[in-house]
Amino acid sequence: MLLQSQTGDIDILPALPASWSSGKISGIRARGNYELDIEWADHQLKSANIRSYSGKTPTVTVMGKPINYKTDPRIKFVIIK
């Protein structure tokens, strides 16, 4: 519902329930040693903080649509060493 991941791929809000129009979650883990904080409003992503503990960069999609997190202002990405 909130996150789907495969090694190197993260899909944020892939199947958000209609009754969860707004909300947030912190510390959700994704495969590949990533940790995310996600906030959404009106069924749309408001912000996502992605922390990589592996030093790798994931492919990111939001609700199944590919995005460039380097230019998308909703996404913050940090590598934690």
Q: Per-residue confidence at 69, pLDDT binned at 50, 70, 90?
A: confident
CA angle centred on 39, ends 32 and 29, rounded to 5° = 20
Domains by residue range for the chain, with CATH = 3-79 (2.60.40.1180)
Q: Contact at 8 Å (CB) between 8 and 50?
A: no
Rounded mean pLDDT, 7-13: 92
7 against 79, higher pLDDT: 79
Q: Which backbone phi and psi does 4 adopt, to 5 degrees?
A: -130, 135
- pLDDT averaged over every residue in the chain: 95
